[in-house]
Amino acid sequence: MTFLNLTHIQTLYTYSSLFIYFAIVLILSGILFLLSYWFYSSVKRTEYAEKVSPYECGFEAFEDARSTVDVRFYLVAILFLVFDLEVSFLFSWAITLNETGFNGLFSMFFFLFILTVGFVYEWKKGALEWL
């Protein structure tokens, strides 16, 4: 019994492009890292007051950068993520609609109905109002 038989060689051949890709990625990222380190160390570093300030534009901050953010901002951000995820589900559903048939169609309509009910509820509660 040999260490590498024909099925092992075929498997290695199948995944060889993946191994080559990972090797190129590792080598390229290492080269870019070393180049950026080399360029950074070779640049003459002069520090200006504007460069050391919190903002590189030269202006002082108008208010504290650690001010609180309104909770409504986070609610709108979460709603955006939910609807963005819904669009990704719709794309995959549209591609596989022929295979899923009526069950897939009914499931997606049910999903969209629940999502619409939640959106209308948030709208009626005023979660989308900024003022």
Three-class SS of residue 45? Answer: coil
Q: What is the mean pLDDT of residues 67-88?
A: 80
Distance CA 82, CA 90 (A): 12
Place of tokens 């948030």: 122
> What are the counts of helices (DSSP H) followed by strands (DSSP E) for the chain?
4, 0
Q: Mark residue 101 as left, alpha or beta (left: phi above 0; alpha: psi -120 to 50; beta: remaining).
A: left
Range scoring the smallest mean pLDDT among 4-8, 24-28, 29-33, 121-125: 4-8
Structure tokens at 53: 């300030």
DSSP 60: P
Q: Is the pLDDT of residue 27 over 90?
A: yes
Q: What is the mean pLDDT of residues 34-56?
A: 66
Residues ≥6 apart with Cβ < 8 Å to 88? none
Q: Is the pLDDT of residue 44 over 60?
A: no
> What's the chain's average pLDDT?
79
The pLDDT confidence band at residue 23, using thresholds 50, 70 and 90, is very high
